[in-house]
Chains A and B, each alone.
Chain A
Amino acid sequence: MEFVQLLVVGLVTGCVYALSATGLVVTYTTSGIFNFAHGAIGMLGAFTYWQLTVGWGWPAALALPAVLLVLAPLFGAGVERVLIRPLHGASVDVTLVITLGLLLFLLGAANYIWDPATSRVLPELFTSGGTSIAGVNLSSQQILIVVVAVAVALALRTLFSRTRIGIAMRGVVDDPDLCAMSGASPARIQQLSWAIGASLASVAGILIAPKVGLSSIQLTLLVINGYAAALFGRLKSLPRTAVGGILLGIVVEMYPVYIAPHVPGFSTTATELTKAVPMIFLGVLLLFLPSARLRTSTAAGRIAPTVPGLRQSLVGGVGLVVVAVVLTESLSSDNLGIATSVVVLAIALLSLVLLTGYSGQTSLCVLTFVGLGAWAMGHSGHSVLGLLWGALLAGAAGALVALATARLRGLYLALATFAFAKGMDEAFFYFHLGAGQQLEIARFRLPGIDTSSASTFFLLCTLVLAVASVGVLAVRRGRWGRQLTALNDSPAACATLGVNTTVTKVAVFTVAAAMAGFAGGLYGSSRGIVTNNDFAVLGSLALLLAVRVGGINTITGAVFGSLTITMFPEIQKHVHGLPDKLQLAYLLTGLAAVSVGRDPDGLGGQFSRLGHHLRGLRTPPSSSPTGIPELEEARLVHS
């Protein structure tokens, strides 16, 4: 009987996943843009509903239609108009940055409006009632969820097969231009799909909030679990998405009772994996995706920022160390601690410059590698070898991730690394660093150097950053750097030239992860105590976006990203009138990403172009594919 009861609970949970995933698939198929902010929109819907009903005392009969039929669709349509429509023809990479930026911005905004320190409860729609069928108890809320899911499925089916606008929504996927030729406006159709998506996300948020509580981060991440269901439908098929959602719900509810305790020898570990089940589900599905064709080339003629030469980068490195020496004289020991964090994080972010900036492999799990490095450091006592163990452990994890995702690129790679980060977050860091048991990390000792002095340690870390920066730039200029850039520009051309793209990818993942792990060891040593919150998946997102804003293919970008993410909370402490828990870093990073995310080179690129300008050099031509405008024109006109 317990089995049947769990099956029913799983079915209900699955319906919520299916609702959320359906909204995601509708927007993806119609506009071609994967909305990473889908979960955050669902969270916002649930909070708005709470505000109307509990906060202002509106009856549910009024508040529900207000949220689901008016506010959420308007919000979705607004997002499409302001953020998505200008993205027409943009690369996957840019769309990722914009929607991830929206996610962080909405989280920051929600925490600003609804202080997370106050606890809020969203009551179920029907608190009383419920029934028992053949010994299985069903609450009214559970029945409601199933009814809503079935109703939405039927409504969408009718929309897509019987109405003209629904058929146009399917048609616009094939050919937006042809849609316009037929007289239907592609922009309007896509706007409608975003409105529907936002509404469905809100339905899911409102239905699940009574069960998991009104926590902005929990709700956002929970709706994100629906991504796994969407992937089950290959981001295309709505019926398969629904099945995926229900399967996921059942697996999630059954796992801790029927699967985990029965894994011979590893039942504890298996139980610890419970919360990571949706992400494991997502990871497994990604493994079975059919291979995409090798992309031939990215946006034509984009000129990357100039790579500094050896002399220039050595001068920069020495300059950095000189600045650090000056700082040690003038900063208080508290501020030196902050400065050390900036430097250490910058080393970790250099790995993103190598991995995402140069070779174009999107990674949403940089903090996971940092966390692994810190964890290894924490188990190495005072030995400096801990840094090495950290680098090795993280490097091995990076190699595994790269092997498992060898075929994936762009959106799917981003999803896979996200699943890895979230899974590690919930299965590893939570149990080994979190849940009240923080990890104390002793600072390593070096012969002849007093590492326990704040200023010496700061100088040491700066030295590492300087060496790493010079090293990364040297790699970029060398043979391997050319391979990475080629992999980024055109994987197909790479393969035809005999470059093994899989080996290159695994290698760059391993090196980048080892770098992040090494930085993690330094991070742990400088902090002394770490918890699982230091390595949360949302932190990785914020870091990627901050580096992206700074310019992901420049050293400037890494330093900028580390500065902003470390300094925001510090600045916040000194500004009066700001609520303590306001995540200024999320709010502003998200805002910056959605506003400047369209320039793939970020601020670093702007600096590079400015440098060109100041030196009186002509800015390289940017729009002609061959780089020789006269030739291009001649070919087009006279062939």
Chain B
Amino acid sequence: MAAPALELRGITAGYGRIEVLHDVSLSVPSGTVFALLGPNGAGKTTTMLVASGYVRPTAGCVHVAGTHVNRVAPENLAKAGVCRIPEGRGIFPNLTVNENLRMFTYSSPFSTSEVQEKSFARFARLGERRNQLAGTLSGGEQQMLAMSRALVSDPGILLLDEISMGLAPKIVSELYELVGQLAQEGISILLVEQFARTALAVSDYAAVMTGGRIAMVGQPADVADFVNEAYLGGAA
């Protein structure tokens, strides 16, 4: 069996003196979608930062496709196929749409024109606004632009951090349609989301984090029950 796309083993990490993650282990098998759920401050984003090299764990190790990557710089991890779409808008507001797409070519096997072609084919609206400054796009359009990087960088593991944040439901479902499509193409995805139901609908495995620890791991259906009963009071 192939090595998992991403594996965290016994990770302890934090910011300065404050420890945020306590002995976190999780494994995203190759070609699957893994949803990481949990309340604010549970350590989900920190887990993402550890996986993409921004926060160095104080204990434990990070493996990407079977390779130990604890001390690799973020930009080199990005080139090696770890693609993180950050919380908020992962775009350069003072560059045009085209120039943003050109930045993606640092970690993409495709040329600039191929990158444009693929992005505009998926998100026609970006094509209409190709010479506009990215900062002047609507929130949804900005997130589409950010997601284009996932589309063109052929990632070994895709890390999506709350892509639905602050967006209209219609756009969220459009974005999750893309996530589903990427999963179908066999891309491994680690997904952090507050809307448990939306995330569970596209995932193969799921885990719930709380207080910097993994509280439960399992099939989406089991996790959904656990989440509804114990943590979100059935609101999700």
Give A residues with C-beta under 8 Å from B: 164, 167-168, 170-171, 173-175, 177-186, 623-624, 629, 632-633, 636-639
Residues of A within 8 A of B17 (CB): 623-624, 629
Contact B106 A167, beta carbon cutoff 8 Å: no
Please determine whether A167 and B20 come into contact, CB atoms closer than 8 angstroms: no
Name 7 extra pairs, CB < 8 A, besides A171-B92, A182-B107, A629-B17.
A164-B103, A167-B102, A168-B106, A178-B90, A181-B75, A181-B83, A183-B106
Given contact pairs A168-B103, A184-B75, A639 touches B40 in the complex (Cβ within 8 A): yes
Q: Is B174 part of the binding interface, using a Cβ–Cβ cutoff of 8 Å?
A: no
Q: Across the interface, which residues of B come within 8 angstroms of A175, CB to CB?
A: 92
Within 8 A of A (CB), among B86-134: 86, 90-95, 99-100, 102-107, 112
- A177's contact among B40, B54, B83, by CB below 8 Å, is which? B54
Interface size class of B (residues with CB under 8 A): 35 or more
Question: How many Å lie between the Cα of A275 and that of B18 in the bound state?
Answer: 55
Q: How far is the CA of A175 from the CA of B88 in the complex (A)?
A: 12
> Are B211 and A181 neighbours in the complex by a CB distance under 8 Å?
no
List B contacts of A178 (CB < 8 A).
Answer: 86, 90-92
Could you list 6 A-B pairs, sorted by A, with CB under 8 Å?
A164-B105, A171-B99, A177-B54, A179-B75, A181-B74, A183-B79
Report B-chain residues with C-beta under 8 Å of the C-beta of A173: 94
Least Cβ–Cβ distance between A314 and chain B, in angstroms: 38
- Least Cβ distance of B95 to chain A in Å? 6
Give the residue name and chain of the A residue nearest to B79 (CB).
A183
Q: Is the C-beta of B186 less than 8 angstroms from some C-beta in chain A? A: no
Alpha-carbon distance between A183 and B81 when the two chains are bound, in angstroms: 9
Residues from chain A with a CB closer than 8 A to the CB of B153 are: 183
Chain B residues with a Cβ under 8 A of chain A: 16-20, 40-41, 52, 54, 73-75, 78-79, 83-84, 86, 90-95, 99-100, 102-107, 112, 149, 153, 211-212
Residues of B within 8 A of A179 (CB): 75, 103
What residues of chain B lie closer than 8 Å to A637, measured between beta carbons? 20, 41, 211-212
Task: List the B residue with the shortest CB-CB distance to A186.
Answer: B75
A164-B106, A185-B75 are known contacts. Are A171 and B95 too (CB-CB below 8 A)?
A: yes
Q: Could you say which of B20, B52, B75, B105 has the most chain A C-beta atoms within 10 Å of its C-beta?
A: B75
B78 A638 Cβ-Cβ under 8 A = no
Q: Give A178 to B89 CA distance when docked, in angstroms.
A: 10
Note all chain A residues with C-beta closer than 8 A to B79. 183
Measured between alpha carbons, how far is A291 from B19 in the docked complex, in Å? 39
Minimal Cβ-Cβ distance residue in B for A636? B18
Question: Closest chain B residue to A638 by CB distance?
Answer: B211
Report chain B residues within 8 Å CB of A174.
Answer: 92-95
- C-alpha spacing A76/B103, complex, angstroms: 25
Enumerate chain A residues within 8 angstroms of B149, measured Cβ to Cβ: 181-182
Residues of B within 8 A of A170 (CB): 92, 94-95, 99
Across the interface, A181 reaches (CB within 8 A) one of B16, B84, B102, B112, namely B84
Are A182 and B94 neighbours in the complex by a CB distance under 8 Å? no
Min distance, Cβ B141 to any Cβ of chain A, angstroms:
17
B residues within 8 A CB of A186?
A: 75
Per the bound structure, the CA–CA distance linking A175 and B54 in Å amounts to 14
B80's closest neighbor in chain A, by CB?
A183
- Chain A residues closer than 8 Å to B92, beta-carbon distance: 170-171, 174-175, 178
What residues on A are CB-neighbors of B104 within 8 Å?
182
CB-contact partner of B18 in A184, A633, A638, under 8 A: A633
Chain B: which residue is nearest A165 at the CB level? B106
Question: Which 5 pairs across A and B sit closest by C-beta, in order of nearness?
Answer: A183-B107, A183-B106, A183-B78, A180-B74, A180-B75
Does the CB pair B94–A185 fall under 8 Å?
Answer: no
- B-chain residues with CB within 8 Å of residue A636 when the two chains form the complex: 18, 20, 41
Bound together, the chains give a CA A179 to CA B75 distance in angstroms of 8
**Assembly CA distance A637 to B149 (angstroms):** 32
B41, A171: Cβ atoms closer than 8 Å: no
Q: How far is the CA of A177 from the CA of B49 in the complex (A)?
A: 11
Chain B residues with CB below 8 A from A639, complex form: 40-41
In whole Å, how far is A447's beta carbon from the nearest beta carbon of chain B? 62
The residues of A that contact B94 with a CB separation of less than 8 Å are 170-171, 173-174
Contact of B99 among A167, A180, A623 (CB under 8 A): A167
- Chain A residue numbers with a CB within 8 Å of B95 are 167, 170-171, 174
Cα distance A170–B17 in the bound complex, in angstroms: 34
> What's the Cα separation between A179 and B100 when bound, in Å?
10
Choose one: A181, A624, A638; the contact of B90 (CB below 8 Å): A181
A181 and B212 contact, CB distance less than 8 A:
no
A167 to B18, CA, bound (A): 37
A171, A179, A180, A623: most-surrounded residue (chain B CB, <10 A): A180
CB distance from A299 to the nearest CB of B (A): 12
Q: A168-B103, A637-B41 are in contact. Are A623 and B16 (CB under 8 A)?
A: yes
In the assembled complex, the CB of A161 is this many whole angstroms from the nearest CB of chain B, namely 8
Q: How far is the CA of A114 from the CA of B86 in the complex (A)?
A: 53
Interface centre among B83, B84, B102, by most chain A C-beta atoms within 10 angstroms, is: B102
A637 to B92, CA, bound (A): 31
Chain A residues near B54 (CB-CB < 8 A): 177, 180
B75–A183 contact, CB under 8 A?
yes
Q: In the complex, what distance in Å separates the CA atom of A99 from the CA atom of B20?
A: 36
Closest chain-B Cβ to A45's Cβ sits at a distance in Å of: 31
In the complex, are the beta carbons of A182 and B18 less than 8 A apart? no
Taken together as a complex, chains A and B put the C-alpha atoms of A173 and B93 apart, in Å, by 10
Point out the residues of chain A lying under 8 angstroms from B74, CB to CB: 177, 180-181
Given contacts A183-B75, A185-B73, contact A638 B103 (CB under 8 A): no
What separation, in Å, do the CA atoms of A637 and B13 have in the docked complex? 13
Q: Which residues of B contact A623 (CB under 8 A)?
A: 16-17
Q: Compute how far the CA of A169 lies from the CA of B73 in the bound complex, rounded to whole angstroms.
A: 19
User: A181 contacts B73, CB within 8 Å?
Assistant: no
What B residues does A624 contact at CB under 8 A?
A: 17-18
Which residues of chain A have C-beta atoms less than 8 A from B75's C-beta? 179-181, 183-186
CA distance A180 to B52 in the complex (A): 10
Bound-state CA distance A624–B17 (Å) is 8
For A184, list chain B residues within 8 Å (CB): 75, 103, 106
In the complex formed, the residue of A with least CB distance to B49 is A177
Query: Is B102 touching A164 in the complex (CB atoms < 8 A)?
Result: yes
Alpha-carbon distance between A311 and B60 when the two chains are bound, in angstroms: 53
Taken together as a complex, chains A and B put the C-alpha atoms of A175 and B74 apart, in Å, by 14
Distance of A178 Cα from B88 Cα, bound (Å): 11
CA distance A186 to B76 in the complex (A): 11
The reply to whether A181 and B40 contact each other, CB–CB distance below 8 Å, is no
A294 to chain B, nearest CB (A): 23
By beta carbon, the residue of chain A nearest B91 is A178
